[in-house]
Amino acid sequence: MPKPKSQPEKDDKKKKTDSAGDDKELNSVGYVRPREISEEMKESYIDYAMSVIVSRALPDVRDGLKPVHRRILYAMGEEGLYYNARFRKSATVVGAVLGRYHPHSDAAVYDSLVRMAQDFSLRYMLVKGQGNFGCFTEDTKIRLCDGRNLSFKELIEEQKSGKRHWGFSLNYESKKIEIAEIEKARLTRKKEKILEITLDNGEKIRCTLDHRFMMRDGSYRCAEDLKTGDSLMPLYVKNYNGAEDLNLEGYEMAYQPIENDWDFIHRLSDDWNLKNGIYKAGERSASIPKIENVLNYFNDFSEMIEEAQSYNHKVARIKMLRKREDVYDITVEPWHNFALSAGVFVHNSIDADPPAAQRYTECRLSRAGQEMLRDINKDTVDFIDNYDATRKEPSVLPSPLPQLLLNGSLGIAVGMATSIPPHNLTEACDAAIYLIDNPEAATEDLFQFIKGPDFPTGGIIFNQKDIISAYAQGRGPILIRGKAEIVEEKNGGWKIIISEIPYQVNKSVLVTQIAKLIQDKKIKGVKDARDESDREGIRIVIELRKEAFPQKILNYLYKATDLQKKFHLNMLALVDGIQPKVLSLPEVLGYFLQHRQEVVLRRTKFDLARAKEREHILLGLAKCLAKIDQVIETIKKSKNRDDAKNNLKKKFKLTDIQAEAILETKLSALARLERQKIEEELKEIQAKITELSSVAKSPAKVKAVVKKELKELKETYPDARRTKIYIKKEKEISEEDLVPEEEVLITLTNKGYIKRVSPSSYKIQKRGGKGIAGIKTQDDDFVEHFFLANTLDKLLVFTDSGKVFAMSAYEVPSGTRISKGRALVNFMEISPDDKILAVLSLGKKDDSDNVKYLVMATKSGIIKRTALEEFRNLRSAGLIAIRLKKGDSLRSVEKTGGKSEIILVSKDAQSIRFKEEQIRPMQRGAAGNKGMRLKKDDEVIGMEIIGKEQLKDYILIVTGKGYGKRSGVSTYRQQSRSGTGIMTAKLTSKTGDLVKAEIVKGDEELIFISKKGQVLRTTAKEISALGRATQGVRIMRLDEGDKVVSLIKL
């Protein structure tokens, strides 16, 4: 039976055919390989993320640089742009970096180059740069709208004295000339190249090559790019001839060059005042006409056309001057242009302007930047292919400086970010040296050297304990505050001068924030705020009025602006050039030191190899020079150079290198002195070989070399710390820190409306007067509590239910003398059924006066003493202050020190005086003891505390119908608690019942307030001193149905 044919051969052929077909397809143009999109996206995203992390956003822990910065420095080294070389155009560097190493945007390269040249961005600049938007010489004059022409020098002098200036600026949106304030006249650059531009009107303008002039079409062109005949945007000013209104004859007018029209300058000033809130809408006079028709100023239309053509300044001549000069500029918001007295508009520099185009700026390496490249040609680092494999670039720089700490780094990668602050070079070097000797050192150990960040902009940082914690973990917040000083002026006013700002805060943004706070009236008492910063440093001046509270305003600036902000430390860097890792301070320095040890070792081996090569040559020279005659004879007998070389090798046993060196030796080397020099050089090179060999074999000696070089760098670049550090934590700025501390009168009505006003709102009057209106109340409402407090006091509000609530005095809404106030229920959880019976203020003065207790008296004569500590932490819902019996209510609460005397006064003119010690202290929830026995229908209307210093004072009593008197405290004999007391006044239907009692000396100012809101302010000495049993004199004349309800002693 035949066996079935096997199939493997056929299957193999099929597989080969399929495979060949696949290869054919793969080699075909346009072949698309099927692939899951999720896999493709995943791989592509990972590739992108790694590219951003490794090749763009994160620095290498070894040299502290990102690839773009490393490539810029290396390319500048290749170009020979060392710190002592001549400056070269930035465009040259950008082009070299782009073409050789960094195939990305030229803007990215130029921005990185600029940042390395900014002293406010880097603590130690790696690049030295020069050039930005141009400026003028100090004698250049600016046209002011007051008719004057002031030079930059004169502007600076006047602005330092506090004067303000306004000039002309072209609004490129409305196409009209406007009035604009001229600010920040300042020196910008020193010893600059100068161009002299002569206009067709004969005026000469001297400026830098890169200053921008406004062309007739509104565009800008740099001075060095101007050409003869170019038309510039003109400014013409003339006096009005009175053609339409003789009243306006002689008034100055400005020509609108785009509208071909004229405007009165004082009308332009009105527009500025309206826009800036100086005038309110409709305030300016409508009788001053705006001149709309240009024909009114010319005889006919043809003349107008002819004149209009001449309203145009042209460049007549451009000349480069040999002498370099210091140059100046100003700031003009918001259009950033201004008019020179020469009659043309020019650009001004803008705070936070981007740098000028790379074709205008120049650069070279700084000394610190050049240090980064030290020994790079000695095989100290690995080189890798550039992007197109046509050149080699360093994977890392030798970097003898701990660059990552010195200048820090900021960068946002994919899923991670780095934020490392700058540090002081001296401190970083000392810490690195310590770490070499103590490799197990912790962050706390290194902080005996590195105190914390050292920002290029200075400032103040707080809480070294938290800073150490952040550096130990590699991340954490650091609070930075600008440096501000409060200065008192001779006239009694105040100034806040800001001389340093937090790192990475844009000064112009900070000034804008301050201006907005002033404009929105968030801070009061500010007279003027201006930026006087110049090339010498930052100076922001805030002028305050005499009545202002400087510290409170400064506290508010810290809280509401970038004058105080947090720097969020995140020390993320690449380890070994590939692995992103959050590092502690010892780790950062440790990786740097490992890198330096490797660099020193590789340099040592390189130098050792070169030294041995030289030794080899010198040995051959020495051998041959000792037999110089034989050498010469051998060379003479040789057929050619190669024959001579071979003969020398055979006869004197030389190597190829040695024989070649002999043949290259000049005849002058045969002299005795030259032969001696070779012998001396040989000895030196052999000693060097011995030294280098010992270093190469000993890790300890490598570390010693690293230490030595760090010490040398520290001595070469000595630098004082700029950022001040406070060891203690800066407390959070609370609401109280923003409140001006001042005395206020607090008014609370029977229906619970509360407000605060200044005591100065009430003028002093004679007793017996009617007073002035003090508050607008409803018909059935009246003022019940009227007392003096400090804005930083805590107010304790006691209700008839025995509860106590708390609020700060500054939380009480400010009002006018006659305003109603706001309902107290807006500030605390008081039940509608609760009636407020007493309000007490507690403040700093009570601590200094040793106040320990609160004493409470009720309407029925109950008295209670409770320790003040039990009222420290009050809830918004309130706490029980005293347990009251049914029908009773709280009538008075006073503060005591524990050793005083107490006097209670009743409505029916009874009083009792006894020692405070007769009342034992009780807890808040207790009911109290009997303090005074009352007759039927009588009730306690007041309680006063008598201290030892008040025994010679008076007790002032006031009746409901405005009568009162003073009686000596000594006339009230001391009794035991819970008695009926003695008479304190003789009451009649004319006087009415007693309503108030107060201890006075006689020289105090008193404020009385009636139920209907009438207020009288007088002095205690105006009220007669009479005996206890008298009815008193009229204090306040009241309307029918009105009565006295409150008394306050100032």
pLDDT of residue 293: 33
Name the one residue in this structure whose structure tokens are 């000895």. Answer: 683
Decide if 853 is catalytic: no
CATH 1.10.268.10 domain position(s) in the chain: 600-708
Q: 464 burial class (0-12, 13-18, 19+ CB within 10 angstroms)?
A: middle
Q: Is the pLDDT of residue 378 over 90?
A: yes
Q: pLDDT digits over 196-209, tens only?
A: 999 988 899 999 88
What tokens were used for 28? Answer: 């075909």
How big, in percent rounded to 5, are the helix, strand and coil portions of the chain?
A: 30, 30, 40
Task: Write down the pTM of the prediction.
Answer: 0.62
Identified catalytic residue from 328, 360, 503, 972: 360
- Range 747-776 average pLDDT: 64
Dihedrals phi, psi of 617, to nearest 5 degrees: -65, -45
Could you check whether the bond before residue 334 is cis, i.e. omega within 30 degrees of 0? yes
pLDDT of residue 299: 39
pLDDT of residue 280: 46
pLDDT of residue 290: 32
Are 376 and 398 contacting, i.e. CB atoms less than 8 angstroms apart?
A: yes
What's the CATH number for 483-562? 3.30.1360.40
pLDDT of residue 507: 86
Q: Residue 351: count other Cβ atoms within 10 Å of its Cβ.
A: 17
Q: pLDDT digits over 251-293, tens only?
A: 777 778 777 777 777 777 667 666 665 544 444 433 333 333 3
- Range 780-785 average pLDDT: 68
CATH architecture type of domain 741-1049: 6 Propeller (2.120)
pLDDT of residue 24: 47
HSE at residue 961, side-chain half, CA atoms within 13 A, is 13
Handedness of CA 98, 102, 104, 110 (dihedral sign): negative
Are 114 and 378 contacting, i.e. CB atoms less than 8 angstroms apart?
A: no
600-708 adopts what CATH topology? Topoisomerase; domain 3 (1.10.268)
* Secondary structure (DSSP) of 578-599: TEEEE--HHHHHHHHHHHHHHH
Dihedrals phi, psi of 990, to nearest 5 degrees: -70, -35
CATH 2.120.10.90 domain position(s) in the chain: 741-1049
The rounded distance, in Å, linking the Cα atoms of 848 and 834 is: 33
What tokens were used for 206? Answer: 């001297």
pLDDT of residue 814: 79
Residue 7 Rama label (left phi>0; alpha psi -120 to 50; beta): alpha
pLDDT of residue 689: 94
Are 807 and 827 contacting, i.e. CB atoms less than 8 angstroms apart?
A: yes
Dihedrals phi, psi of 716, to nearest 5 degrees: -70, -35
Q: What percent of the chain has pLDDT over 70?
A: 86
Name the one residue in this structure whose structure tokens are 């009222």. Answer: 871
